[in-house]
Each structure stands twice: as C-alpha cells, then as structure tokens.
Structure 1
Amino acid sequence: MERAEYEHYVQAFNDRDYDKVLDFYAPDARIGFFGIDLSDRDAFKRFYSFLHSYVKESVVIERFASSDELVALEGIVRVEGLRDLTADVLKAQGLEQFMPIAKGEVQNMRQYIHYHLADGKFTSVGCTMA
C-alpha cells in the first residue's frame, strides 16, 4: 500500500466515515487493540460511535513504511474531550482500560500501528503506545 492510499484511509477515519474506513479491511479482518476486539463491521461502528460521541480523535502520521504485506507507522493520536467521559461511563461499556477524559481536555498519545495486508486490504491491525 502506498502512503497516499493510506492517507485516504486516515482521512476517512478523521472524518468519521466508518463505512469508507471499513472498506479498507478484508471481510474477515481482525481489528484488536488495548483489549478491544472489533472483528466485524457492527462492533467497529458501535465502538467508534460511542467513543466519538465523547471525544474528537485524529491521527497524525509521523513515520510510514509499507510493503505488499505490511503497513507500519508511528504517529500521534490526538483525543480531545467533547464531553466528560468518566470512569463510570467507561466501566459501563466494559472499557476500564481506557483513561477518562474531561470536556476540553486534550491527550496526545504516541502510537505504533501495524496492519497486515492481503490483496490490498487490511487483514489485521494492532497497536501499542509509547
């Protein structure tokens, strides 16, 4: 995957165009990070619809490498609280591993994200934070 194509993916994510984002994934893709399993379109949409009702999230790519089988990047995920996302709200959603964020608060997280590819589609994704 070329960087320009990946940037279209990131733009769709930043724009909250979940259908367009999911079009980059193979039908049986495994999407998992921080203990979350989003292995089907409905789970992905439920999770991000919930999260993005509380925060504005965007990805800035700093380093990018790719081949026919892998996309690897380092970047900053910026999260800004749109309304209070409390520990109680997170717990009710089974998301205790996430940090609460108050309205107006900004969190910048350095993340390392790897996508496995087959036939130009993501088959799995995982990430870690520094």
Structure 2
Amino acid sequence: MLDRAGYERYLAAFNARDYDGVADFYVDPPRMEFFGIVITTREELKAFYAWLHSCVKETVSIHNFAASETATAVDAIVRIEALRDLTRDELDAKGATGFFPIRAGEVQEIRQFIFYTTRAGRIEKVECALPPPLAA
C-alpha cells in the first residue's frame, strides 16, 4: 500500500527534484498518462521532469488523500511558477497538449485529482484529471 507516509516521502523526492528517488516509487516499467504525456520507462520519467522543471518550479501539496491496497487517490494543488516562457508550440512539441502555456514569472495554481494504481506498494500507473471550472 502507498499510504500517506509513503506518499509524503514520494512528494518530498518530487519537490526536491530527486528524479531517481521519484522513479524508485514506480514499478518497472512505469505507466503514466496525463494531459497528453505518456511515460513508459524510468528514463522517460526522469527526462520529462528534468525538462519540465527546467521551465517551471512545480510543487504539489495535498488537499485530500485516500489509499487502499491497490490505489492511492490525491486531491492536490499543483503550483507552477514559470522560470521562463513556456509556449503552446513548445508544449505541443513535447506532447504536453493538456498543459497550459505560461510566461516567465507567472504563477498557476491548479487543482488536480491524481489517481495512482499501485501494486505491492509501488506505483504502477498514474492518471490525472482537472475538476470542471466553477460556475461564475
């Protein structure tokens, strides 16, 4: 089971940009699908986050958390602070079609629902969704 304490260790590695530490939480090979990105190897995982975090400072904080033997679900706030411009063309070229362009210095705070399928306490698959916008 990937319980709350384990997930906190995972987030600490993620927020510290310890990509080997992050990858250690995954089965081999990992399977991640979110916002146009598909990651199927440890090296793809590390390369994607190294690229993304060269463009933005990303931190994840937990809003709600639930876990069972086969799944971990997180309602999170993902804070993105642009270190440089990240254009629609660059995002699309990386396959990140569901990401939002951002200009250097801007901040986006995005609520995400992150669903982890787990096996023997390790992450097997990751899926993410955004809630619908609130009515004005």
TM-score (structure 2 length as normaliser)? 0.90
- Cα deviations across residues 29-68 of structure 1 (Å, max 9, x unaligned)? 2111112111101111221111111100010001001011
Unaligned runs of 5+ in 1: none
Q: What CA distance in whole angstroms lies between the structure 2 residues aligned with 1:9 and 1:78?
A: 17
**CA separation in 2, counterparts of 1:109 and 1:27?**
29
User: In 2, distance between residues paired with 1:29 and 1:42?
Assistant: 10
**Structure-2 residue corresponding to 1:28:** 29
Could you tell me how far apart the structure 1 residues matched to 2:31 and 2:108 are?
Answer: 26
Distance, in Å, in 2 between the alignment partners of 1:114 and 1:91 is: 24
SS at match of 1:19: helix
User: Residue 29 of structure 2: SS of its match in structure 1?
Assistant: strand
User: Matched residues in 2 for 1:88 and 1:59: separation?
Assistant: 25
Q: Does 1:19 align with 2:26?
A: no
Query: What is the aligned partner in structure 1 of residue 74 from structure 2?
Result: 73
Alpha-carbon distance between aligned partners in 1 of 2:36 and 2:12, rounded to the nearest angstrom = 25
Q: Which secondary structure state, in structure 1, belongs to the residue aligned with residue 31 of structure 2?
A: strand
Matches within 5 A, 1:72-111: 72-111=73-112
Q: CA deviation at 1:128?
A: 0.2
Q: Distance in 1 between matches of 2:97 and 2:121?
A: 34
For the 8 Å contact 2:37–2:95, the answer to whether it is kept is: no
Specify the SS of the correspondent of 2:28.
Answer: strand
| Residue correspondence of structure 1 range 37-76 to structure 2 within 5 A | 37-76=38-77
Percent identity of the aligned residues? 49
- d(CA) in 1 for partners of 2:69, 2:60: 22
> Aligned pairs, how many?
130
- For residues 64-93 of structure 1, what are the alpha-carbon distances to aligned partners after superposition, in whole Å with 9 as ceiling and x for unaligned? 010111101101000000111122322333
Q: Which residue of the partner structure matches residue 119 of structure 1?
A: 120
CA distance in 1, matches of 2:92, 2:74: 30
Structure with the larger strand share: 1
Gaps of 5+ in 2: 132-136
